[in-house]
Amino acid sequence: MPVTDENLRKHKTEQFITLLKRCRPGITYIILHATDAGPSFTSISGSGPTRRGDMLAMMDPALKAFVEQEGIIVTTWHELSNRRAKSQAKR
């Protein structure tokens, strides 16, 4: 399969949906390095296509629709910290 933006987007979106389907309820931390890896990126790392695929998947309406359909809450560590602080303050 040729490395095109369309193929990267489709493949990575499918991978993220599969990953999310396997997650159990609770907090799941997914680390990714979404990058618009330009031509010079190969001088830094060979991971350019993977990082570009992550970026394209994160912008894919199909992934957004899946997350919304499943009721998945996308958050940040800052927001989680605030929720925890508010929860502990109520005790």
The string of pLDDT tens digits covering residues 37-58 is 888 898 999 999 999 999 999 9
Whole-number average pLDDT of the chain: 93
**pLDDT at residue 82 in the model:** 93
Residue 91: is its pLDDT beyond 80? no
The model carries a pTM of: 0.84
**pLDDT at residue 64 in the model:** 98
From its phi and psi, is residue 26 left (phi > 0), alpha (psi between -120 and 50) or beta? left
Query: Which spans in 1-91 are helix H?
Result: 5-22, 48-58, 61-70, 77-89
